[in-house]
Amino acid sequence: MYVVTHYLNSQLPFVFACIGAVILSILSHYYISIGVKEMTNFKTLTSSFVIGGVLVSSIFFCEFKGVEIVTHETMVNTSKVESISNQLGVFRTQLGEVSLKRDWRSIEQKRTIEKQIKDLGVVLHEEKEKVNQATLKASERSNEFRFFSIVLVALSMLASSCISNGLETVSETVSKTVKQAKLNEFEALAKPLDKPFNLLDSTERIRLASDYIRTTNEAPHNVLMKKFKLSPKQVKEAKILAGYTLKEEGQKVIGF
């Protein structure tokens, strides 16, 4: 995140760079995790995975460029080269002015300036060699950090996927537990009414089932069939009589 922010800061103001780095990181993790799940379910490449891949590629690009900037700023010092270059510029300007004069003092001054330029040229060459060596070391160091950033991003995405899967598993377990508890409650409410139904006709059983639906405001199909001794058609009549509406057109009930 720091390296990405550092690179974006070279292109944008600091505040926008921070916001952009956070948004880029969150969106890339989100779309990659969604894309992996969709590919697992549908066995094909999805748009979410493509978007996630583009965002992750952008992160890697920012990481690589940012690492290069950070290591260069940390390990390479070009201030001496710039200072010597400025001095050489001043001396060359003075040399141009003195060269137009023919008096003895100007000739001596010209020789002195030429010697200073020559000496500074040697020093400048040495400093440039140092800068080149430091640049090579910085490049090697940045390559090491690039490899580390790839591993780090991969591990962070793996961790976020594991956490997401864990939360989904817990949510599914809780949902199943709640549904089973409700089913047990409905069965317990209907159990005391089980025995007398053998002596009642279908009309009375439908009426009692409709009263049960109105009282509990729930209509589990299997409970109504089992406890009230109703057929699927009679269950539907009981629901209509109770004014209960529930989309069950896609359900199929086998047996009675």
What are the pLDDT digits (tens) for 28-85? 888 878 887 887 777 777 888 888 888 888 888 887 787 777 777 777 788 888 888 8
What are the pLDDT digits (tens) for 144-188? 777 777 777 677 666 666 665 555 555 566 566 666 666 665 555
95 and 117 Cβ atoms separated by less than 8 Å: yes
127 and 81 Cβ atoms separated by less than 8 Å: yes
Query: Average pLDDT in the 8-36 region?
Result: 82
Structure tokens at 174: 């809780």
149 and 67 Cβ atoms separated by less than 8 Å: yes
Cβ contacts of 109 within 8 Å, gap of 6 or more: 98
* 11-16 long-range contacts, CB within 8 A, separation 24+: none
Of 149, 1, 153, 3, which is closest to residue 67 (Cα–Cα)?
3
Query: Where do the domains of the chain lie?
Result: 2-182, 194-242
- Cα–Cα distances in angstroms (integers) from residue 46 to residues 26, 50, 175, in the given order: 19, 7, 29
